């Protein structure tokens, strides 16, 4: 019985009798509390990553908010301009490309 990273073999459930001959490998746990502890550690790491992601977004908003806001506005305008004059659209697309280059090339190595 192959186990995925989310499954855990509690003693005897892998068919190997006390897991001596089972093939649960690194997923064997000796009791339900071991299973609970492993899952709680996983949830803790997931929460930590989520908080870190939020902090990164907050820092980017503080440091690059104006540039990102301008970029978002240009993206919205460009998508709405599909039905407008082609030359006007071409100009806005070039401005968008320029802003993208400025935003992402200017942040390398920082």
Q: What's the mean pLDDT in 81-109?
A: 77
Q: Model's pTM, two decimal places?
A: 0.46
* Cβ contacts of 17 within 8 Å, gap of 6 or more: none
pLDDT of residue 5: 45
9-19 confidence digits (pLDDT tens)? 555 555 554 45
2-49 confidence digits (pLDDT tens)? 544 445 555 555 555 445 545 555 555 567 888 889 899 999 999 999
pLDDT of residue 97: 92
Q: What are phi and psi of 23, to 5 degrees?
A: -115, 40
Domain ranges, ordered by start, for the chain: 52-105
């Amino acid at each position: 019985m192959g186990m995925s990273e989310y499954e855990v073999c509690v003693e005897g459930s892998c068919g190997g009798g006390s897991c001596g001959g089972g093939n649960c490998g690194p997923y064997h746990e000796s009791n339900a509390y071991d299973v609970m502890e492993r899952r709680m550690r996983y949830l803790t790491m997931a929460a930590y990553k989520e908080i870190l992601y939020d902090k990164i977004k907050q820092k980017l908003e503080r440091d690059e908010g104006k540039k990102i806001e301008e970029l978002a506005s240009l993206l919205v305008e460009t998508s709405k301009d599909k039905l407008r004059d082609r030359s006007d659209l071409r100009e806005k697309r070039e401005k968008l490309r320029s802003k993208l280059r400025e935003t992402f090339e200017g942040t390398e190595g920082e």
